[in-house]
Amino acid sequence: MVSDFGETLHHMAAPVVGKSARTRARLVAATRAAIRARGTFTAADVAARAEVVPATFYAHFASRGDALAAAFAATLDEVVDLVGAHLDPARLDPARPDRGAPAVLAAFVDALVDFFAREARVFRAALGDLATNPGVRATYRAHEESAMAHLVPFVAAVRGTGPDDPAVVPVARALLVAGQGLDNPLLFTGEHSDAERAVLVAGLCALVTADPRTPPSPRRPPGRPA
Amino acid sequence: MVSDFGETLHHMAAPVVGKSARTRARLVAATRAAIRARGTFTAADVAARAEVVPATFYAHFASRGDALAAAFAATLDEVVDLVGAHLDPARLDPARPDRGAPAVLAAFVDALVDFFAREARVFRAALGDLATNPGVRATYRAHEESAMAHLVPFVAAVRGTGPDDPAVVPVARALLVAGQGLDNPLLFTGEHSDAERAVLVAGLCALVTADPRTPPSPRRPPGRPA
């Protein structure tokens, strides 16, 4: 499995330069645009949007699945950039309330929900192929690792700890899971109230500062409704 | 949009009885089994698994997309049952640590992750069609409402409040979003450590008890890594 991913990544990372690279980038952008518009795509549709002949599509992608993996990779590049820009330890300043962890996480939630809403169809199409498309799986795993490279130092910074804090990696991975959970149609429809957003941010703050060895009790004792 | 959903639901809810209903249930089960096995399905494949002639598939489903929506509906029925069984206010007992909100939520996380892992391909296939399949959208929305009917009384019970607590509905909706976030391949591969699970449970506990008007500060002041 791992070597399968490795080979696929190697293939995807093969250097492509000059005019050929520009054409490929145009085809990837056209694939994303087609999925955004219709939820799916054909090679002919993408070639027409990229203003190339259909044979050019197959000169750059072995299959439709290859084009989908490339479109997903380009989309995930942008997610990782967004994570890096928002969850940057340099953004945190304990002396300023607008730069505490809750404010930074709130801005991150807004930006990520907006991004997922815009790219929802690309995510659905790619994740729908996850089980059957090794290229989609490989790019998904690789981008998770890239996101972790941002999340680990951010979590350590919020916790005020260093590499000796054994909670940092599990907390960063839980934050990775929670962040992906924001790719949810419920959040995209304007039904997403400020109160709901505040609750999600509170949950993320608790998660970032959690001690995995002692799950906290709720703030009030559990009880029955009055 | 709403009337489109309404009509689709009406169509899906049309009464089917006796032998016809049993054949349909067998076709739905065969569709789920085919997707679990291969990530996708054909009408011929499903008919063979259900031991009927291919024409019978089209006697029960107008299209492949209809069968997918029916398979998704059956899967979501089971999720809603799981939510109802785990997040039942009667499970909470403040006098017993093994029946406090953290313990109940931890058992729920385990059960939900197991369920999503087993049904991952059905979810990916259905959510991949969300943008283009009105039947999938309609059943998704309907099951969200059914899940909310369980979540609202559970949240009120954990908070020890009643229908006058304005936080209950936004908190229940945030819990619905967070629960769907557990449908994540990261959690399905045995890489999901106990520490990571404890962090996710801590986040959910904080979310259930959050006050949406005042996002909490992290437990420690934010700072830079040492």
Higher-confidence residue of A2 and B96: namely B96
pLDDT in tens, A71-87: 999 999 999 999 999 99
Residue with tokens 């939820």: A39
Query: What's the pLDDT at B220?
Result: 36
Query: What's the pLDDT at A222?
Result: 38
Amino acid identity of residue A218, one-letter, is P
Higher-confidence residue of B2 and A13: namely A13
Cβ contact, residue pair B186, A144, below 8 Å: yes
Percent of chain B with pLDDT over 90: 52
Question: Do residues B9 and B138 make contact, with C-beta atoms less than 8 angstroms apart?
Answer: yes
Chain B: closest CA distance from residue A29 (Å): 19
Cβ contact, residue pair B224, A200, below 8 Å: no
Cβ contact, residue pair B177, A158, below 8 Å: no
pLDDT band at residue B14, thresholds of 50, 70 and 90?
low
Chain A: closest CA distance from residue B69 (Å): 14
Cβ contact, residue pair B207, A212, below 8 Å: no
Which domains are present in chain B?
2-13+64-208 (1.10.357)
Cβ contact, residue pair B202, A202, below 8 Å: no
Cβ contact, residue pair A222, B101, below 8 Å: yes
Is the ipTM value over 0.90, yes or no?
Answer: no
Cβ contact, residue pair A160, B225, below 8 Å: yes
Lowest mean pLDDT among A88-92, B60-64, B96-100, B210-214: B210-214
Give the mutation candidate from B155, B165, B177, B201 for the A interface (greatest A CB count, under 10 A): B177
Cβ contact, residue pair B195, A127, below 8 Å: no
**A110 burial class (0-12, 13-18, 19+ CB within 10 angstroms)?**
middle
DSSP run (H or E) holding A174 = helix A168-180
Average pLDDT, chain B: 84
Cβ contact, residue pair A178, B178, below 8 Å: yes
Cβ contact, residue pair B101, A178, below 8 Å: no
Residues in chain A with CB shorter than 8 Å from the CB of B213 are 195, 198
pLDDT band at residue B10, thresholds of 50, 70 and 90?
very low
Average pLDDT over residues B8-27: 72
Among A120-134, A138-152, A202-216, top mean pLDDT goes to A138-152
Q: Which residue of A has its CA nearest to B113?
A: A177
Residues in chain A with CB shorter than 8 Å from the CB of B219 are 209
Query: What's the pLDDT at B12?
Result: 54
Percent of chain A with pLDDT over 70: 85
Query: What's the pLDDT at A166?
Result: 86
Average pLDDT over residues B100-121: 92
Chain A: closest CA distance from residue B158 (Å): 5
Query: What's the pLDDT at A210?
Result: 81
Chain A: closest CA distance from residue B181 (Å): 4
A157: number of CA atoms within 13 Å, CB side?
Answer: 18
> Per the structure block, which two tokens stand in for B211?
């006050």
Most distant CA pair in chain A, distance: 70
B175: number of CA atoms within 13 Å, CB side?
Answer: 33
Query: What's the pLDDT at A1?
Result: 39
- Report the alpha-carbon distance of residue B104 to residue B99 in Å, rounded: 6
pLDDT band at residue A226, thresholds of 50, 70 and 90?
very low
Please report, for residues A54, A124, B30, B31, B41, the alpha-carbon distance to residue B34 in angstroms, rounded to integers and kept in the order given: 33, 20, 6, 5, 6
pLDDT in tens, A89-112: 999 998 898 899 999 999 999 899
Which residues fall within 8 angstroms of residue B39, CB to CB, at 6 or more apart? Answer: A129, A131, A132, B121, B124, B125
Among A62-76, A185-199, A200-214, B132-146, top mean pLDDT goes to A62-76
Cβ contact, residue pair A210, B223, below 8 Å: no
Give the mutation candidate from A64, A159, A199 for the B interface (greatest B CB count, under 10 A): A199
Give the mutation candidate from A177, A180, A189 for the B interface (greatest B CB count, under 10 A): A177
Cα end-to-end distance, chain B, whole Å: 54
Tally A–B CB contacts below 8 A: 260
| Secondary structure of A60-82 as H, E, C letters | HCCCHHHHHHHHHHHHHHHHHHH
Cβ contact, residue pair B38, A132, below 8 Å: yes
Chain A: closest CA distance from residue B82 (Å): 19
pLDDT in tens, B28-75: 999 999 999 988 899 999 999 999 999 999 999 999 999 999 999 999
Give the mutation candidate from B200, B214, B219 for the A interface (greatest A CB count, under 10 A): B200
